[in-house]
Structure 1
Amino acid sequence: MPQPTGRLVRKDDGVYVVLDRIFKAPIDDVWSYFTRSPRLAQWIGEYTGLPSTGAVRFRMNAEENAEWGNVSILECAAPHRFAADVGPAGDSWRVYWHLTEASGHTTLTFARRLRSLTEEADVGVSWDYYLDRLIAARSGKAMPEWNDYYPAMIEHYQSLCRELNHDLRIEQAALHAVELRRTGTLG
């Protein structure tokens, strides 16, 4: 059974679920599985349009009845960094991936920003599944089964979200107390 690999990372623009994978492959090969539509289609979906324009349309093929959605490319520094907003404005989700190569191996760090710690714990499960599909596509192995990931992994991600949500509430309360002291409205 696969094991959950994600962690939560706080950044200036929010909280991201972050996952890493290591490939025994050159960086350009791994990059192509994210940027060339035929290779992308082997594990997650396809896109149409010209990425050089800063926008494409994307549809996941690992989900039934997935619809085409807009992708706004925020950064593309081949073959090392990519960031985009996926979906309609106001309801999009931010993703990024970074690739580094050393000693014949390429390390992928993939992240998706969470909109809610209380409602999006399943995002980590989904990306463990999709990144394992990438590994299967690259190696020519059978695709993993969703049922091996969900619900088995959900508790890991729910726990991470609960813990971070708790920590954020404590930080917020401490900042509020400091502000009250500063303004003289507290004791």
Structure 2
Amino acid sequence: MTTMSMLGEVRPEHDCPDDLVLLHYLRSFRHPVLEVWAACTEPRQLVRWFGAVSGTGTDLVIEPDDGPVPGPLTVHVDHCSAPNELHARIDGDGALELRLSQVGVVTNLELVRRHVHPEQAATIGPRWQYLLDRFTAYLNTQPMPQWRDYTDLATEYR
């Protein structure tokens, strides 16, 4: 089993109707912000930890390589300010925010998955933790985690 990272947090989404929640994740890397940004956004790197990417510009399709994420995923980039901020919609309704900041030799990554129905947090939460752990393994040239090690995390995201 690969060592898992800390859990994401389920937080109320106060500016959203219907009692929706957001999932909030933080990670820190001893890599320059440009390197982390490239691993998050360049198709030739995404394929190594997430899946194959097709499309160009603001409309992309990602075919996940492994794990519980059903594919293909359609991604529309709403805002991009490289190398610090990316806002996207996944499959039309899943709002995703990615923020990177470098402090000294450490790059901090903040990922927020917005507009989650509370009953879906137990499914979506472990998926993003798994993907972030795959991303971390890729950046650090470590073995990729296996989805089977994450299936029991659903209760942590309720």
Report 1:158-177 matches (<5 A): 158=158
Secondary structure at the counterpart of residue 155 of structure 2: helix
Deviates more, 1:108-117 or 1:29-38: 108-117
Does the alignment pair 1:27 with 2:28?
no
Task: Return 5+ residue gaps in structure 1 as ranges.
Answer: 159-187
Q: Say which structure, 1 or 2, has more relative contact order (CA 8 Å, 6+ apart).
A: 2
* Structure 2 counterpart of 1:156: 156
* Structure 2 counterpart of 1:183: none
Does the alignment pair 1:75 with 2:75?
no
Task: Return 5+ residue gaps in structure 2 as ranges.
Answer: none
* In structure 2, C-alpha distance between the alignment counterparts of 1:73 and 1:40, rounded to whole Å: 15
State the identity as a percent. Answer: 24
* Structure 1 counterpart of 2:136: 135
Deviates more, 1:60-69 or 1:8-17: 60-69
* In structure 2, C-alpha distance between the alignment counterparts of 1:69 and 1:133, rounded to whole Å: 17
* Structure 2 counterpart of 1:6: 8
CA contact (8 A) 1:6 1:18 kept: yes
* Structure 2 counterpart of 1:45: 51
* In structure 2, C-alpha distance between the alignment counterparts of 1:157 and 1:93, rounded to whole Å: 17
CA contact (8 A) 2:67 2:147 kept: no
* Structure 2 counterpart of 1:165: none
Secondary structure at the counterpart of residue 66 of structure 2: coil
Secondary structure at the counterpart of residue 135 of structure 1: helix
Give the CA deviation at 1:46. Answer: 2.6
In structure 2, the CA distance between the partners of 1:4 and 1:104, relative to structure 1 (3 Å rule), is closer
Give the CA deviation at 1:155. Answer: 1.7
| Greater than 4 Å deviation, 4+ residue runs | none
In structure 2, the CA distance between the partners of 1:81 and 1:145, relative to structure 1 (3 Å rule), is same
| Structure 1 residues 39-86: Cα deviation after superposition (integer angstroms, max 9, x where no partner) | 1111112321222xx222222112479533321111100000001111
> Which has the higher Rg, Structure 1 or Structure 2?
1
Secondary structure at the counterpart of residue 82 of structure 1: strand
Does the alignment pair 1:85 with 2:89?
yes
Higher strand proportion (structure 1 or 2): 2
CA contact (8 A) 2:98 2:111 kept: yes
CA contact (8 A) 2:68 2:127 kept: no
Secondary structure at the counterpart of residue 142 of structure 1: coil
Provide the aligned length of Structure 1 versus Structure 2. 152
